[in-house]
A = this chain, B = another copy of it.
Amino acid sequence: MARNASLSGFPEWLPEERLVEAHVLDTLRRTFELHGFSSIETRAVETVGHLLRKGEIDKEVYGLSRLQDDDGNTAVASKDDPNALALHFDLTVPFARYVVENAGYLSFPFRRYQIQKVWRGERPQEGRAREFTQADIDVVADGVLPFRYDVELALVIAEALSALPIPAFKLRINNRKLAEGFYRGIGLTDTAGVLRSIDKLEKIGADAVATLLKNELGATDEQAAKALALASIRTEDTSFVAAVRALGVTDELMEEGLDELEQVIAAAIKSAPGSVVADLSIARGLDYYTGTVYETVLVGHEQLGSICSGGRYDALASKGNRKFPGVGLSIGVTRLVARILSQEFAKASRSVPTAVLVTLSDEDSWGEAQDVAAALRARGISTEVAAKADKFGKQIKYADKRGIPYVWFTDESGEHQVKDIRSGEQVVADPAVWMPPVEDLTPQIIKA
């Protein structure tokens, strides 16, 4: 690994690296399906009008245009044309459209996972790509979505991340109702503005955030200090409730948020002890979140940024008077896999699926070798047949170079034999019966 992408921001993996990525994707898929999430995919393309309806991310979107349209002119995608096409930049916005369009065909609450590439036209930097894979889970209701799903999704995602070959992680959870109610309670009414300022805490520090709050939102010294005091609360248990109360603010919405966050943290601690923290500084940039918000960092790799984020959104999708509230999380698969590879958290035991190479004793034996291979494949053993009757040593060398552990051959007496080319051990074998040890059957992903 550590080759540079030939196009900056568009990583591509070698076969042995792709095996690690496939393992991550298979593990996520399996976990999500065990929890009853259905797979869907949405088209890569949305209309500009749909993508930009939140109006804040147009710098990052790749527009599409046919290089030559039917009249021979170059057509141009423009942000001023709502019907122009563009690549999706996440999976939540397309999912909201899918739910609204297919509401009559889905049964609610609709639980889905979605693993696809997304594109952002931003300048690439460490940990950020222009094309990357996300793995999302969401639950969406028609009408009212019980709060319990906010708890459940934290448990599912903690289980999914725990199954991956990555270091310990911290799932940081907050609640917008708690924060917004608190800000309101201390007299700061532009709660979205306060959230945006608090979101910059990690980047610019407490003093600069205090200045922002005072200069841009008209906060007093005391209000700024209280808002920062709230954001400084981090507990690995439910003691954050007492810590918030100690700040002496009363607000109904805040109480609702406190109660919700307490439920999420209590259940998540039980299910994933040591991996969950109530972190009252978490704001999440996107403004469609309305309750629980989640972020996740790898312990010791905090500078990588969040590898899994999401939250509750009560108003992202609607159809007339019908509302489809949801809660979901998105795992940054490419970011995770790039880190697994660069830090060698895990690697594949070999780069090819092939367990056995059936060698040729002479050119006429190719058909017979195909029969041996078919017998092995019928029992799930990945098998290749040599393309030429080279000298036996050369055929073994080919297997060795490709990392194939076993070669199959027929000895002078016509007896089938199989040789482990690592140990040199060889045994008489029947193509209808012989099995390699399970660790040789398929490439294994080995944690460092």
Residues of A participating in the B interface, judged by any CB pair closer than 8 Å? 3, 5-7, 10-15, 18-19, 22, 33-45, 47-48, 58-59, 61-68, 70, 74, 76-79, 85-87, 97-98, 101-102, 105-107, 109, 111-112, 117, 119, 121, 123, 131, 146, 148-149, 152, 155, 267, 270-271, 351-354, 366-367, 370, 377, 380-385, 387-388, 401-404, 442
Query: Are A112 and B45 CB-contacts (below 8 A) given A38-B352, A382-B36?
Result: no
Query: Are A387 and B42 CB-contacts (below 8 A) given A36-B382, A65-B62, A370-B155?
Result: no
- Chain B residues near A107 (CB-CB < 8 A): 351, 401-403
A36 touches B383 (CB 8 A): yes
Q: How far, in Å, is A349 (CB) from chain B's closest CB?
A: 14
- Chain B residues near A148 (CB-CB < 8 A): 366, 387-388
Of the candidates B22, B36, B111, the one whose C-beta lies within 8 Å of that of A39 is B22
Q: How far, in Å, is A339 (CB) from chain B's closest CB?
A: 18
Q: How far, in Å, is A204 (CB) from chain B's closest CB?
A: 22
CA distance A38 to B383 in the complex (A): 12
Of the candidates B19, B61, B70, B131, the one whose C-beta lies within 8 Å of that of A45 is B131
Q: How far, in Å, is A41 (CB) from chain B's closest CB?
A: 7
B109 touches A387 (CB 8 A): yes
6 contacts between A and B (CB under 8 A): A12-B40, A33-B353, A35-B382, A36-B404, A61-B66, A155-B370
CA distance A15 to B11 in the complex (A): 30
A34 touches B383 (CB 8 A): yes
- Chain B residues near A62 (CB-CB < 8 A): 64-67
Q: How far, in Å, is A26 (CB) from chain B's closest CB?
A: 10
B39 touches A15 (CB 8 A): yes
Question: Closest residue of chain B to A6, judged by CB?
Answer: B101
Q: How far, in Å, is A37 (CB) from chain B's closest CB?
A: 7
B86 touches A67 (CB 8 A): yes
